[in-house]
Amino acid sequence: MAQQATVLIIDDSPELRAVVGARLRASGLFDVVGEGGDGGAALMLAHEHQPDLVLLDTSMPVLDGLECLPLVLAVSPESKVVMYTGFQSAGLADRARELGATDFVEKGAPLDTLVERLWSHVGDPRPRQGPSRSRALRLARPDDPEPRAQRVLDEHLERYREVFDQATIGMATLTLNGSIVRANRALVQLVGRPAGDLVGLDYGVLTRQHGEQLDDALARITEGGEPVVSFEHPIGTERVRTARLTLTPVRDSGGAPLYVFAQVQDVTTELALRRSEEDFRLLVGAVKDYAIFMLDVHGRVASWNAGAAHIKGYDADEIIGQHFRVFYPESERASRHPEHNLAMALRDGVYAEEGWRIRRDGSTFWARVVITAVYDDAGRHRGFAKVTRDQTDQRAHEEERRRALEQQAHLLTVTAHELRTPAAVIDGAVAMLRDGGDDLEPHERRKVLEAMSSSALRLQRLITDLGTASDVQAEALALSPEPVSLRAALVTSVDRVRAAHGAAARIQVRVDHDVDLVADPSRLGQALDNLLENAIRHGRPPVAMSGERTARGIRIAVSDAGPGLQPRLVDRVFDRFAHAGPTAGSGLGLYLVREIARLHGGEASYVDDGSGRPAFVLDLPAQPEIPRS
């Protein structure tokens, strides 16, 4: 039998390391000589063991895989490095190979495929004899029955793909250079090209000579760090439409963009309706909604309508004869911006812009301005027509829409990322137990089952939080209150979290005197679970949970041995989608804790009294007035 290949496994998920390590050992082909959870560990272990192969995660805290890759090769030149990633991106794979990676494997691939891929880089290419090799080959038999657990897993893995493929607006994954990696059906229909023609195509080709806008947008994401960039461009071949492209980067644990998520929406009808609406309002509602007046050739106000009086606050006898620069902020007057606008209108015939303007009372408003040079029949310049509209409310609505798009894009990105690792753990564990479980050592089987259980609970909690957040947003979350034992509620929550995290969940519970309160036990448990998960994920062990009666009701506190929140996060830690750092989750957990507390008539807060043990606190009334479902 040929000698085993030595391998390092570097991934920030201990569950994934357990499953992959067990499968590699069970194959009989590999000797797992070390495991680590970040790039620093990868460097030390590679230098110490000089392994044949390093399986290296792309996204890790402290030092990500791409940054770590050339350093690993420097300290262990003979090692082959295979990138193991949860992100789907051809550009990312190319970049990894440029840095020296031997191969690039997605975490969604079956573990048997991973074993074969790894062995192809370090092992004997001839067929290997013995039970381990025959077992690996047996995994590929087409007549193997698919167990129920595998079908359930496949359904979970397909959920995000279905959302992507069946969305009514166009969606695509782009490399950082703008090449299309994946496109959904709506985008295929919008551009009028076969799906196969889009993969690998530069999206700039679809913009009909607006590629420079795409390049600028990508530069603003990769170099400027902007979270969302949008622009409109023509699209299509036989039937040209107008599309609004919204780009959002998907970043690694170090904040560097890995690839770009694109939303492409057909706004042709919307734009046509908007233009028609503006024309109608100009004709019918000009007196109220528009300031329409004339300037002489020097820029002095020569006429004034009721709309101008309404928007700017001047009566006609107060403003006629004054220079229109009185409407501009002081800084723009100093830079002679009003005179520049007249010069542009005289040169080009018309000049348009948006900016802040000053009312008579000194208040400001956001104005959309059009200045048109006016000539008589003989071609002599007679002055300027100026139309001003107050766009303050519209600007606020546009900002609100932009924030909604950011939240939507963030939720899609985070949900995909949060699902990928537990799905990969369950997929690998199910395949291994199905096809090679009899050959596992008892402690390895236990580790695999614990990893499956932990990952399943993580998926279930994410789905529950997403559903609850949706109900809260729609004001549809109702409660079913009943008497609840404080001690029982805390102990039950601790048991659930311990079951999900195993030995990593070092939690201390203290309830000096048990009391009853009226609450929805399911929602209360969800809030307590999220507080404990937050402490385990972001704090340091041990975690402490206490409950006590107060003068106003019940107080539950959760703390850990960590330093507490950064000051910049304290004021927004309970906001929806608030997150920080590479270990951040969906940004919904603490938001739901606060909303559940408020529905019970209580409040959630973060308390740092200088004792060195800051805590998240849940204050609930013992007998609240709760609307029943």
- 469 vs 239 pLDDT, higher one: 239
Delimit the CATH 3.40.50.2300 region(s) of the chain.
Answer: 5-144
Model pLDDT, residue 285: 40
Delimit the CATH 3.30.565.10 region(s) of the chain.
Answer: 478-620
pLDDT tens profile 543-552:
999 999 998 8
Q: What is the CATH number of domain 5-144?
A: 3.40.50.2300
Contact present, 490 and 507 (Cβ < 8 Å): no
In terms of average pLDDT, the best of 138-147, 461-470, 472-481, 609-618 is: 609-618
Residue 412: pLDDT over 70: no
User: Is the bond preceding 127 in cis, omega lying within 30 degrees of 0?
Assistant: no
Taking the C-alpha atoms of residue 429 and residue 423, their distance in angstroms, rounded to an integer, is: 10
pLDDT tens profile 378-410:
899 999 999 998 888 888 787 777 776 766 665
Phi and psi of 67, rounded to 5°? -70, -35
Residue 479 DSSP one-character state? B
CATH topology for the 285-390 domain: Beta-Lactamase (3.30.450)
**Residue 366: band (very low, low, confident or very high) from pLDDT cuts 50, 70, 90:** very high
Contact present, 83 and 53 (Cβ < 8 Å): no
Taking the C-alpha atoms of residue 629 and residue 624, their distance in angstroms, rounded to an integer, is: 15
**Residue 441: band (very low, low, confident or very high) from pLDDT cuts 50, 70, 90:** confident
Delimit the CATH 3.30.450.20 region(s) of the chain.
Answer: 160-272, 285-390
- Least Cα distance to 387 among 323, 473, 293, 460 occurs for 293
- Least Cα distance to 415 among 156, 165, 89, 61 occurs for 156
486-501 vs 521-538: helix crossing angle, rounded to 10: 50
Model pLDDT, residue 55: 94
pLDDT tens profile 190-246:
888 887 677 767 888 888 888 888 989 988 988 888 899 999 888 877 778 888 999
**Residue 512: band (very low, low, confident or very high) from pLDDT cuts 50, 70, 90:** confident
Taking the C-alpha atoms of residue 158 and residue 76, their distance in angstroms, rounded to an integer, is: 39
pLDDT tens profile 160-181:
466 667 778 888 887 777 877 7
- 252 vs 310 pLDDT, higher one: 310
Residue 458: pLDDT over 70: no
Question: Which helix or strand (DSSP H or E) is residue 483 part of?
Answer: strand 482-485
User: The domain 160-272 is classified under which CATH number: 2.40.50.140, 3.30.450.20, 3.40.47.10, 2.40.30.330?
Assistant: 3.30.450.20
pLDDT tens profile 529-574:
889 888 888 888 899 999 999 988 999 999 998 888 888 888 888 8
pLDDT tens profile 15-53:
778 888 999 999 899 999 999 988 888 999 999 999 999
CATH topology for the 478-620 domain: Heat Shock Protein 90 (3.30.565)
Supply the pTM of this predicted model. 0.37
- Least Cα distance to 448 among 13, 10, 31, 18 occurs for 18
Residue 343: pLDDT over 90: yes
pLDDT tens profile 49-66:
999 999 998 766 556 677
Taking the C-alpha atoms of residue 346 and residue 374, their distance in angstroms, rounded to an integer, is: 9
Residue by residue, DSSP assigns 21-75 as HHHHHHTTSEEEEEEESSHHHHHHHHHHH--SEEEEESS-SSS-HHHHHHHHHHH
Residue 481: pLDDT over 70: yes
Close Cβ partners of 523 (under 8 Å, ≥ 6 residues apart) = 468, 479, 596, 599, 600
Residue 4: pLDDT over 70: yes
User: Residue 535 — left, alpha, or beta (φ > 0 → left; ψ -120 to 50 → alpha)?
Assistant: alpha
Residue 316 DSSP one-character state? H
Question: Distances from the Cα of 257 to the Cαs of 105, 181, 229, 230, 580, in angstroms?
Answer: 19, 15, 14, 17, 16
